[in-house]
A and B are shown apart, each in its own frame.
Chain A
Amino acid sequence: MKRITIDPITRLEGHGKIEIFLNDAGGVDNVYFQIPELRGFETFCEGRPVEELPQIVTKICGVCPGCHHMASGKAVDAVFGVQPTPTARKLRELFYAAHYVHSHIAHFYALAAPDFVVGPTADPAKRNVIGVIEAVGAAVGTEVLKHRRYAQEIQKLLGGHQTHVVMNLPGGVSRGLNEEERKGIEEKAKSCLEFAKFSIKIFNDVVLANKTYVDIILNGPYSLNLYSMGLVDENNLVNFYDGKVRVVDQEGKEHCKYAPNEYRDWIEERVEPWSYLKFPYLKQIGWKGFVEGPDSGVYQATPLGRLNASDGMATPLAQEEYERMYATLGGSPVHATLAMHWARLVELLYAAEHLLALSQDEEICGDDLRTPLTNTPREGVGIVEAQRGTLTHHYWTDSNGIVEKANIIVGTTNNHAAICMSLKKAAQALIKEGTPPDQGVLNMVEMAFRAYDPCFSCATHSLPGHMPLEVNFHAPDGDIVRSVRR
């Protein structure tokens, strides 16, 4: 059996490798997506004071540390049986909206745009952010970096540490805003909103106006009929910070809508001997293997998953774009994997609108930042939407608030099975029997993976943007008979 090994995966946070096994005719028999790393946060959080966890768990990921900080902060609130003050909650959401703005901008321009703006099978030397800039104009590159900086500056102001934010305390936050700071944020938010609208315009002009791309999105080998998961508010509108987790089936019918402390009634995780990362699946449906359909518990938790699991967006411009997306793609839910890129832009618009609205909120400069704690700490669950999936933190403490146990299900982890399946489907459709795959084909396999934005989202970089791929064809006796590299 011949095999193609992709090691390491690049353009994501973390380590990964893909093994593609070919049959004798050169078609794809199976694909394994392996995660070779493990650090064990669930163990070394034990023994730590629970209020330290929001700062410790940001180190799970340096690209979405704000997500872990928020999920953890909410879990710690729950451990103490409190809710944050209204101002504290708004400050957290303000931070979180900025966090989404920076992350989604970077992912779209650095990772997604090259495949569409330059072209999925184009010359790899051009298929990167420089190629994007050449296509849409040099000013855009500077605008991307500038708005990423704006978002980071808002994060630093609110969170102290711009990457590994420290603002959450049980019952609230450690730092408030004065009027001058608020105005600064408001100005940046306005600019970010304009930039979000502009990004959607680029997507329209370059992707949606191009019939080939629309065809790839709708009819390429990039669709999986999976359950969709996302956090929604009481009106079933997308909410990144709070609400209940809603899962819908392939037809859009609600499978469940659970509060944070009910997650174990609906989610289980399994272990495979060939990956250090676990595979979550829907408990009530059960694990049926790496298969699609309503009888399989595999689900996606992505921007598309969130939009599918919701009835709409909570801000007007985002709602308009949400409706337009579903009208174009044939109604909800959408199963075309590449539509994740569009969903991400809808979310960018929502995040920017929300950022601006919060920066103008009359309570945002309030000085009541922490709810008093009166209960004995015990146990709590906090759930938020990370940019790349639903994030769950669950802590148990002793009566002194020292952590006894922790359970964490991370955003991308939700999608481990789905990514395996997307890769396999794309590889099987694109790698044709009798024809060794060329550069363009290999990149199109990668596009299946890239859409999930697996935990890293910034490469605003003027360097060759193609993933490393080396294809070794082994004869039955194991010798390499041919090597293709790009």
Chain B
Amino acid sequence: MNDSTKNVATPPPVPKKKLQMAVYWGAACGGCCVSVLDVHEALFLVLEHADLVFWPIALDTKYKDVEAMPDKSIDLTLFNGAIRNSENEHIAKLLRQKSKVLVAYGSCAHMGGIPGLANFSTKEKLFQRVYKDTESTVNPDNIRPQTSYTVPEGELTLPVFYNDVKPLDKVVDVDYYIPGCPPQTERLVDVFKLIVTGATLPPAGSVVGVFDKGQCDCCKRTKSDNKKIKKFYRPWQIQDDGETCLLEQGIICMGPATRGGCGARCIDANMPCRGCYGPPPDVADPGAKMMSAIGTMIDSDDPMEIQEIVKGVVDPGGTFYRFSLPSALLRRTVQ
């Protein structure tokens, strides 16, 4: 049960100067901001240690106010959301300049996240679908949003929509990564306490707010040492027994290739992990390890039978790279 007041049971002493903190979003959904607010009643305690200086979802600070801040005057910025357009990139660079520590917060900033799935497609195909071909859209003149458009009263501008979605570290240097979609609030509190108590932080570039073990080690299901899969099932094709490892029942679960930290929250609802916490450390490609592991588990030595079994993996790219496509070795479909 989520009792966030337990996490700050022994409050650190209140410092003389508060941590200057910012939270900003690129191509995001707001879930990471909600994860910050999910400290619930402990919010007041958090605010004793931190001043929030920029947070568009909740505060009135403007871009111009951030531009006016001295460089490195923000102690900690949590940047969530992917880099999808020129505004996301511009503000990422601005915040890098103004922040001592810049954290890629959440799956989108860490690896590209769900918006990263757009890298299976192109800007042109996306615009064509959204603005012309969707069944309820009526657009006989083929109007598309323009980055600059003149109305009778003056000029209106919009940011440039890029063809490729990028994680944050493709446009600025990132000091730390806190993974998750969104990060489990208790992990954020763990990191926050590290910072305000002045503890030594891990080396720059580290993934923090995670467990040292993998998802399978956090999962309560019973597992055997010898996983063998004769057939892959989509979750609606069988009745999960509620106890055995999902993968052993033939339901693809990203547990073996995912870092622990969320508390196996999706498994609690009997649904397979989809890998939002990202890969284990020192991995060159987030999905290839999973492919390797699953490949090993296929219970057959016969090429024809193997190919039949593999047909049960109906969307390899979208399954193994659900949250990480823009950070993969093949970060988008070939053009």
Q: List residues of chain A with CB under 8 Å of any chain B CB.
A: 1, 3, 7-15, 19, 21, 29-30, 32, 34, 36-40, 42-44, 46-49, 51-52, 55-56, 59-63, 65, 80, 124, 142, 145-146, 148-149, 152-153, 156, 158-167, 169-171, 174-175, 263-264, 267-276, 278, 280, 370, 373, 394, 400-402, 405, 407, 409, 455-456, 458-470
Contacts and interface: CB of A to CB of B under 8 A. Distances in A.
11 contacts: A10-B58, A10-B59, A29-B153, A43-B125, A59-B115, A62-B35, A159-B269, A160-B267, A174-B240, A270-B137, A274-B156
A160 B268 contact: yes
Given A8-B62, A47-B318, A175-B270, A170 B158 contact: no
Contact of A161 (B64, B120, B239, B266): B266
Nearest to B323: A59
B61 interface: yes
B304 interface: no
Contacts of A159: 269
Contact of B136 (A29, A44, A409): A409
Given A46-B121, A145-B41, A161-B262, 16 more contacts: A7-B62, A19-B154, A19-B156, A21-B154, A32-B151, A34-B158, A39-B27, A40-B121, A48-B117, A48-B315, A49-B318, A55-B274, A169-B235, A269-B136, A394-B135, A400-B314
B12 interface: no
Contacts of B322: 56
Residue of B35, B156, B317, B322 most packed against chain A (CB within 10 A): B156
Contacts of A146: 40-41
B11 interface: no
Residue of B43, B47, B265 most packed against chain A (CB within 10 A): B265
B104 to A, nearest CB: 17
Residue of B113, B129, B139 most packed against chain A (CB within 10 A): B129
B153 A468 contact: no
Q: Is the interface of A mostly helix, strand, loop or mixed?
A: loop
Nearest to B65: A468
Contacts of A280: 136
A109 to B, nearest CB: 13
Interface in B253-288: 262, 265-271, 274
Contacts of A1: 153-154
A373 B60 CA distance: 50
A470 B62 contact: yes
A52 B1 CA distance: 26
Contacts of B84: 37-39
Contacts of B274: 55
A1 B151 CA distance: 12
Given A62-B32, A160-B268, A460-B37, A274 B234 contact: no
**Interface range on chain B (Cβ under 8 Å from partner):** 35 or more
Residue of B31, B115, B125, B181 most packed against chain A (CB within 10 A): B31
Interface in B98-146: 113-115, 117-118, 120-121, 125-126, 129-131, 134-139, 143-146
B250 to A, nearest CB: 14
A44 B134 CA distance: 13
Interface string B174-194: 000000011000000000000
B60 A10 contact: yes
A274 B145 contact: yes
Nearest to B33: A62
Contacts of A466: 60
Nearest 7 A/B pairs, CB to CB: A62-B31, A160-B269, A44-B117, A468-B62, A21-B153, A62-B30, A59-B114
B145 to A, nearest CB: 5
B40 A149 contact: yes
A344 B92 CA distance: 36
Interface in B189-241: 234-236, 239-240
Given A40-B118, A47-B120, A174-B269, A59 B31 contact: yes
A274 B182 contact: no
Interface of B: 1-2, 4, 25, 27-35, 37-38, 40-41, 43-44, 47, 52, 56-65, 84-85, 87, 113-115, 117-118, 120-121, 125-126, 129-131, 134-139, 143-146, 149, 151-154, 156, 158-159, 161, 181-182, 234-236, 239-240, 262, 265-271, 274, 314-315, 317-318, 322
Given A152-B2, A370-B239, A49 B267 contact: no
A164 B31 contact: yes
A226 B126 CA distance: 32
Contact of B149 (A46, A145, A273, A463): A273
Nearest to A16: B56
Contacts of B114: 44, 56, 59
A40 B130 contact: yes
B137 A268 contact: yes
Contacts of A161: 262, 265-266, 269
A153 B3 CA distance: 9
A269 B59 CA distance: 32
B245 to A, nearest CB: 16
Residue of B4, B57, B235 most packed against chain A (CB within 10 A): B57
Contacts of B64: 470
A21 B129 CA distance: 32
Nearest to A409: B136
A266 B141 CA distance: 21
Contacts of B59: 10, 461, 463-464
B5 to A, nearest CB: 9
A29 B154 CA distance: 11
A37 B137 contact: no
Contacts of B117: 44, 48, 56
A36 B158 contact: yes
Contact of B52 (A160, A370, A373, A463): A463
Contact of B139 (A11, A166, A270): A270
A423 to B, nearest CB: 14
B131 A271 contact: yes
A13 B65 contact: no
Contact of A461 (B43, B61, B137): B43
Contacts of A55: 271, 274
A36 B86 CA distance: 10
B153 A30 contact: yes
